[in-house]
């Protein structure tokens, strides 16, 4: 059974006050304790209640992060790293109070090595800022989670997005990193070689560790050459299953699709309402192909043939940039269209990911279940990865609806697990998905995570109360 | 300064004898203690002396691995996993004695999910056995380290090979795994979703952990569709630098090269001697392109144009399978050609990996240094990754030459580190590269590795004496 128990460090008001005093002495008014700033830094975009930190420190350097961590370690006060605040699972909440370290001012691109297709950045650089910086180099950074998140936060949550099917996730994008450890020292996980077998893969351990093992203060990222040509395509399908089977066949053929997004009929209806697009209200795939001019034409046409075999209708493709944007407008507007469809409601985004052969069935069962619970939930899917998001409407202040939403989220996580999938493809566990981690991986894996946490952060000061309850965080017992 | 100190568990003959008795009771004559079998299981293909285990157990199931680990844990006796014995860095040695677990009989492909492009295998399946099994599915497993290694061993050492530039390494190929932990329990690191953000990335922690954290007993691997067409190409260059610059430009253009191998003039001379090929004795690139018929033609031709700009001569390409094999014959024969070049000598393969912009300079300096030390060293490079192997001749029983070889290996590791590279791109640390790990990553990273080792394997029974000296393996100190 999943457990809701969380082991938090004891709260010591005097210790917190002492740390704030110490930090004020070092950083002056870059240490803020106003209620609005604190609430904003514990803000969460989900159904989880805000749990504000005791103070926010706006750091400018790795040395300052070290100073904060050392002060907090000495006083056993929690530290919570903050990038742009776009987390969806309560990663930024401070359930035991503590100091939020705002890294947004560490926003420098330190180095671009064009010949090596890599760069070194501070954690507060956002993905669009990096791509703006790179615009004259012929290179780009592909990972695109939608939000203009900070690269440090994207690494910490192992984010991905629409083009992971071609370019991978933050797991693949980070060559190495520097992180301030819970003891205040700075660790280098790897340098700039494109591959390495040198010891434990600490890069990948830190990527997705959600601030619980250290604070990332520098990233070495892999870049890609901007393709000569980009083509986009859209196609309508009779059913979600037809769309998924088309996607599966394209991947099996080795078609190097760069993006392959699914919208269900309800999502299409929402964007029709919102953007007056007049699209047929059936499931739809949106695609992007990267390569040479001849290559992207060939890819789009090959895809069109596969789609036709699976009942695809109205297949269109173009390599013209303006036309491309028009074809993709439905996807770009999807999030906002939700609010047109359900005015006045917030939404919670689910994030399950399953083997792609189970995607259609999983989506169908989830839709049916949601309807049975009187929840209207448009579906957006990164279909090449088997990852899909349902936008579940949230009526704040309606406990019955909240109970149904929570019930649905738990049911959906278990459904994904039953398909050998995961409760989270790209948003992370945070607070919101803690109940499902043991159900997904079993107690043995979680015991290893706890043992690692206990060994790297024995005082439990690093973003406590996230990912798993601490339980016995000591060495594995024989 | 790198340290040579290794902390090994104390050796207890009575405990070892007790474990062997216990295991014989369970597995009969699949527990072997003959000198030849023991020596073969501690065999190493490098300059490292063989350190045989006390016994070899030929296991058939995860449950049997658990039984061996439990018996060893109870008696504090080391366990060393064994796949095919193709490790190059002494991973299989038993410096403190113990039980070698031979996993080669766990050789079943358990499941192929063609629609999901994945499969589930036991660790003793070799990469060619898997590809033979897959031959009717239209899918293949890409990672190719040369040797027909076991997939469990390839995962444990984070192996890669000639097509990592396109398909990645074992880091990318493993979706999830099961491993017997040091306490005898079985951990599942992840299931079959193509991406996940669920907690610490235990899959990537186990991949490359060289048997020091657990024994992999099952792997879920990512497969790829066999491309419609494959073309191969070769080109000679005036200098290694010209060849490297061609490679860099091709990658920057986003040309999806599947393999891109460098042979230096000495390697070409060796294969000319060995296989009577009559190739011009200058540096050479060998390439492979995967895609549609039109795509691979376009890729080969685009590459030819880039090569020409960098002084490439005699560029040839073909999509005909027989012609392809002929073009690549030089690379296939390179390892054996070494022995024709230097009859009677063994060789040690170096494995440094540097940012590709430094590759040409690093190769040139390494060649110069080797010549200055009177070592004749052909160079083979996975140039798209910046990873190159020098085959350093080894005259067994010649202490002066051995000293020079060791000196050269250390110098080369430091050179690669000075270029922000790594001492090992794909062979792992094992025993052979332990002195360089701290120099490469610093004491902070190695302290984190030690803390993890101490938390997951507090008795230090899992392949002790590998990767790093144990030092203080307790939690990180503030």
Output the pLDDT for position A242. 97
Task: State pLDDT tens for residues A367-407.
Answer: 999 999 999 999 999 999 999 999 999 888 889 999 999 99
Contact B181 A458 (CB under 8 A): no
Output the pLDDT for position B3. 40
Contact B457 A440 (CB under 8 A): no
DSSP 8-state symbol, B229: E
Task: State pLDDT tens for residues A84-98.
Answer: 999 999 999 999 999
Percentage with pLDDT > 90 across chain A: 87
Distance from CA of B445 to the nearest CA of A (A): 5
Output the pLDDT for position A475. 92
Q: How confident is the prediction for chain A on average, in pLDDT?
A: 94
Judge whether A461 is closer than 8 Å to chain B, CB to CB: no
Residues 6+ apart with CB under 8 A from A255: A299, A302, A303
**Distance, CA of A391 to chain centre:** 15
Say if residues B240 and B360 touch (Cβ distance below 8 Å): yes
Output the pLDDT for position A2. 35
Of residues A27 and B2, the one with the higher pLDDT is A27
Q: Quote the CA–CA distance of B389 and B391 in Å, as a whole number.
A: 6
Chain A neighbours among B 336-375 (CB < 8 Å)?
351, 353-357
Suggest the residue from B120, B448, B458 to mutate for an interface test with chain A (most A CBs closer than 10 A): B448
Fold of A13-102: 3.30.43
| Angle in degrees, 0-180, between the axes of helices B359-372 and B240-252, rounded to the nearest 10 | 160
Judge whether B439 is closer than 8 Å to chain A, CB to CB: no
Chain A neighbours among B 173-202 (CB < 8 Å)?
181-202
Contact B201 A204 (CB under 8 A): yes
**Identical fold between B13-102 and B229-336:** no
Residues 6+ apart with CB under 8 A from B466: B90, B91, B210, B211, B212, B429, B430, B431, B434
The CATH number, out of the four listed (3.30.70.2740, 3.90.1300.10, 3.40.50.1100, 3.40.50.800), of the domain defined by the range B343-418 = 3.30.70.2740
Say if residues B237 and B285 touch (Cβ distance below 8 Å): yes
Residue A3, pLDDT above cutoff 50: no
**Distance, CA of B82 to chain centre:** 14
Output the pLDDT for position A301. 94
Nearest by CB to B195, from A115, A169, A449: name it: A169
Nearest by CB to A478, from B73, B202, B385: name it: B73
Residue A5, pLDDT above cutoff 70: no
Residue A46, pLDDT above cutoff 80: no
Output the pLDDT for position A345. 87
- What sign has the CA pseudo-torsion B297, B302, B303, B304? positive
Average pLDDT over residues A180-191: 98
Task: State pLDDT tens for residues A426-462.
Answer: 999 999 999 999 999 999 999 999 999 999 999 999 9
Fold of A342-418: Alpha-Beta Plaits (3.30.70)
Lowest mean pLDDT among A33-47, A348-362, A374-388, B100-114: A33-47
Helix (H, G, I), strand (E, B) or coil at B404: helix
Q: Quote the CA–CA distance of A168 and A171 in Å, as a whole number.
A: 7
Task: Find residue A283's DSSP bridge partners.
Answer: none
Say if residues A139 and B252 touch (Cβ distance below 8 Å): yes
User: pLDDT band for position A59 (50/70/90)?
Assistant: very high
Task: State pLDDT tens for residues A213-229.
Answer: 999 999 999 999 999 99
CATH of domain A229-336: 3.30.70.3450
Domain ranges of chain A: 13-102, 109-225, 229-336, 342-418
Q: Quote the CA–CA distance of A320 and A264 in Å, as a whole number.
A: 26
Average pLDDT over residues A405-415: 96
Of residues A330 and A204, the one with the higher pLDDT is A204
Judge whether A62 is closer than 8 Å to chain B, CB to CB: no
* Backbone φ, ψ for residue A231 (5° rounding): -115, 150
Torsion of CA A273, A279, A283, A287, to 10 degrees: -110
Low-confidence stretches of chain B (pLDDT beneath 70): 1-5, 44
Average pLDDT over residues A165-188: 98
Nearest by CB to A424, from B198, B353, B451: name it: B198
Q: Quote the CA–CA distance of B232 and B325 in Å, as a whole number.
A: 8
CATH architecture of the region B109-225? 2-Layer Sandwich (3.30)
DSSP A5-17: ----PPP-HHHHH
Copy the structure tokens of residue B88. 């190059």
Average pLDDT over residues A267-294: 94
Output the pLDDT for position A248. 92
């Amino acid at each position: 059974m999943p457990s809701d128990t969380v082991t938090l460090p004891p709260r010591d008001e005097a210790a917190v006050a002492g740390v704030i005093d110490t930090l004020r002495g070092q950083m002056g008014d870059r240490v803020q304790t106003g209620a609005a700033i604190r609430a904003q830094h514990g803000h969460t975009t989900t159904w989880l209640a805000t749990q504000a930190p005791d103070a926010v420190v706006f750091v400018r350097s790795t040395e300052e992060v070290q100073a904060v961590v050392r002060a907090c370690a000495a006083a056993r006060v929690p530290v919570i790293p903050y990038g742009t605040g776009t987390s969806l699972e309560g990663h930024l909440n401070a359930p035991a109070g503590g100091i939020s370290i705002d890294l947004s001012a560490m926003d420098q691109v330190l180095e671009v090595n064009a010949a090596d297709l890599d760069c070194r950045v501070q954690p507060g650089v956002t993905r669009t800022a990096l791509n703006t910086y790179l615009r004259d180099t012929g290179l780009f950074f592909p990972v695109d989670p939608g939000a203009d998140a900070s690269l440090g936060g994207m690494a910490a949550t192992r984010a991905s997005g629409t083009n992971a099917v071609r370019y991978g996730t933050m797991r693949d994008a980070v060559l190495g990193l520097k992180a301030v450890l819970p003891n205040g020292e700075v660790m280098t996980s790897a340098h700039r070689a494109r591959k390495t077998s040198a010891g434990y893969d600490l890069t990948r351990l830190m990527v997705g560790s959600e601030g619980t093992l250290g604070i990332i203060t520098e990233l070495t990222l892999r870049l890609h050459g901007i393709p000569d040509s980009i083509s986009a395509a859209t196609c309508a399908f009779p059913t979600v299953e037809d769309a998924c089977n088309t996607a599966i066949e394209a991947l099996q053929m080795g078609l190097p699709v760069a993006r392959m997004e699914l919208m269900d009929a309800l999502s299409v209806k929402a964007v029709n309402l919102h953007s007056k697009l007049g699209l047929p209200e059936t499931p739809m795939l949106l695609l992007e192909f990267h390569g040479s001019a001849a290559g992207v034409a060939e890819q789009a046409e090959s895809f069109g043939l596969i789609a036709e075999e699976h009942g695809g209708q109205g297949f269109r493709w173009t390599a013209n940039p303006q036309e491309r944007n028009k074809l993709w407008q439905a996807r770009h507007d999807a999030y906002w269209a939700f609010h047109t469809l359900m005015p006045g409601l917030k939404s919670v985004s689910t994030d399950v990911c399953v083997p792609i052969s189970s995607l259609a069935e999983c989506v169908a069962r989830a839709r049916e279940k949601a309807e049975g619970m009187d929840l209207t939930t448009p579906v957006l899917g990164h279909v090449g990865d088997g990852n899909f998001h349902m936008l579940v409407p949230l009526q704040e202040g309606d406990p019955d609806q909240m109970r149904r939403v929570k019930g649905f989220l738990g049911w959906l996580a278990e459904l994904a697990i039953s398909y050998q999938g995961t409760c989270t493809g790209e948003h992370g566990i945070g607070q919101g998905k803690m109940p499902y981690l043991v159900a997904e991986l079993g107690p043995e894996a979680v015991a290893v995570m706890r043992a690692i946490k206990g060994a790297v952060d024995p005082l439990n000061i690093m973003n406590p109360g996230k990912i798993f309850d601490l339980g016995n965080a000591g060495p594995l017992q024989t």
